[in-house]
Structure 1
């Protein structure tokens, strides 16, 4: 049996068809996969690009089955934040393929990088960092084939910046585009013109089985994932003076005592839950509504160029990532409440006592999720 025939059989197109293999009878997919896996590139880094509902995840599973069946150590980087299937919600996940899979959720998760949102918007740099770090982790595991599934964000300035930066940084050997008409040409054209011998652009048609899902359906799916992940969770009190806090200004400066914060409360005409000095100004957390006119009074009296003012409620119900001293994600939680004066908070998480004892840092996301698993919108990263 020649190599192409062997690959076709392994992928489920021959008599040795297995569960979950060969579900997509798209001949262009079959030929593209055979050409990619028959190339001499190792490790193979296959970057999947496509709009919403084009079959990227199905193609990722198809490629994973084919590569694994061909005897190649295969990994999948699930960077589709809005509809991720590998690892905890709000993360870029890494899975190692142990055998035939129906969906990406069947793949064994081995690593996750916390992003803290359901889309890359507002967190472009974090998203790119997450994808690169997770790819590097896959290579450390010795993966010969890494399949990178991405979000359906392909239009607009953010998409152009994000996808171009991610492609440049991850340096895939193959950029596989699932195209409807010419919807991806604005992203592909620079790479076509560059003509890099180290990266091949491969165009394949959208799956004929791909169906459009509404925004409501996508949100319902995400909320189902939250409920499943947080089932059986409990609230854990965390002492913020003993753990590292990331992606927030809180507790990065010199905290003020009650007497120092009292004039700020008068100027803002509200309770001040927390205030601290920063090299470039002040960070003030107001408890409730405040008078913006008070900012100018504070700047003039204190002689600071900037006052970073936010509300205590911005911190409530934020998705957060709990990491150990090596920065490895232990699990995800929801920051239920913060007692700014005691410098403590309650994190709702499924982590047990043993895992919580290893928590050395908390990364705050921007997505709010209620204890019942409902999305509550996003804050801006600068809000905290």
Structure 2
């Protein structure tokens, strides 16, 4: 289930980094950068265990939403390992931030905000060393994402695992602002196919949801975020009938937000339907089935995940599967909609575009 396991058989430059970390003034923030399968999590596990064994209080911020070590995926998580551990999955998280998808694309705001808030939380809890594990998105838009993370977190040390010079576009602006150490990628680093990474996630989803129960939740008792679905005003019966007639839809729910319509619908018949997407957002009802949601507390942190099974729009009731118990759900003030559909057996059903909801 985990790609990275604790080993002391590491390239010599890792031990040199360890000596530098030991000598640096504390508290210390360390951000680890690298492409896909470059060994970021393996390095995180190695450093954390070695520093723990020397008596340091270590915090780990796991922001690799697609290949999370600290369960579950689709969140950014903060953990404080209190003893030697083999894999990150053994670490019990103390805080999560909801991203709601397995890829940072289209979700830069959530990625940067989550990392910043959890690093702050780690410092409040008096961590000596905070290690930030990041995603493998380092090209194209990934350069901007990493720039924003570094600017917001202001790490004292950036560890860059790179093949040739692939991270230089990220590192160059920070050469004189923070300490950057370039590391070679271990010859033991294993490349995983897309399907292998998907299978790893499947096992993690399944483990997270394995002891879940289904609850019927009154949506009027929560603030709903991450979607336009309940903003604005409910459309009139006349508007509903006109839209159904024009586009041959069955509309289950409709809102008008300023001058734009938002409808949840099912198609009647199969033929092209053209409309101005600046004037209307139309969501297929089936795209809400098995959609990931987050239960958010009063401080904006995520208490845990749920899988949306059904919404009764007339009664504003939602059927949700979650491992959280009733008391934990009562601590949530907000339900936030994600953009990945996943079953409780771990099978991923697809990603929705940021603007879909």
SS in 1 for 2:105: coil
Pair 56,275 (structure 1): closer, same or farther in 2 beyond 3 Å: same
The match for 2:107 among 104, 120, 123 is 123
- 1:342 shift after superposition: 2.4
TM-score (norm 1): 0.86
| Residue matched to 1:264 | 243
**Shift of residue 22, structure 1, vs aligned partner:** 5.3
Query: What do residues 22-52 of structure 1 show as CA deviations (whole Å, max 9, x unaligned)?
Result: 5233111101121122022x32110000111
| Structure of higher CA gyration radius | 1
Structure 1 residues not aligned, in runs of 5+: 1-19, 300-304
TM-score (norm 2): 0.93
In structure 1, C-alpha distance between the alignment counterparts of 2:110 and 2:268, rounded to whole Å:
31
Contact 1:21 / 1:62 at 8 angstroms: preserved in 2?
Answer: yes
- The CA distance in 2 between the partners of 1:289 and 1:58, in whole Å, is 51
Residue 309 of structure 2 is matched in structure 1 by 336
The equivalent of 1:379 in structure 2 is 352
8 Å CA contact 2:6, 2:42 repeated in 1: no
Cα drift, residue 211 of structure 1: 0.9
Which range moves more in the overlay, 181-190 or 207-216? Answer: 181-190
Give 1:245's match in structure 2, choosing from 224, 227, 240. Answer: 224
SS state at 2:251 partner? strand
Distance in 2 of aligned mates of 1:210 and 1:307: 47
In structure 2, C-alpha distance between the alignment counterparts of 1:350 and 1:152, rounded to whole Å:
29
Contact 2:98 2:301 in 1 (8 A): no
The size of the alignment, in residue pairs, is: 352
Instruction: Give 1:30's aligned residue.
Output: 15
Counterpart secondary structure, 1:81: coil
CA distance in 2, matches of 1:230, 1:76: 23
Residue 236 of structure 1 and its aligned partner are, at CA, apart by 1.2
Deviation string 1:128-187 (CA, Å, 9 cap, x unpaired) is 11111111111111112000001111122x111111111111110001001222222222
**Deviation at 1:292?**
6.8
Name the counterpart of 1:306.
Answer: 279
Do structure 1's residue 97 and structure 2's residue 81 form an aligned pair? yes
Does the 8 A contact of 1:50 with 1:152 survive in 2? yes
The alpha-carbon deviation at position 66 of structure 1 amounts to 2.3
Indicate conservation of the 8 Å contact 1:87/1:112, yes or no.
no
Gaps in structure 2 of 5+ consecutive residues: none
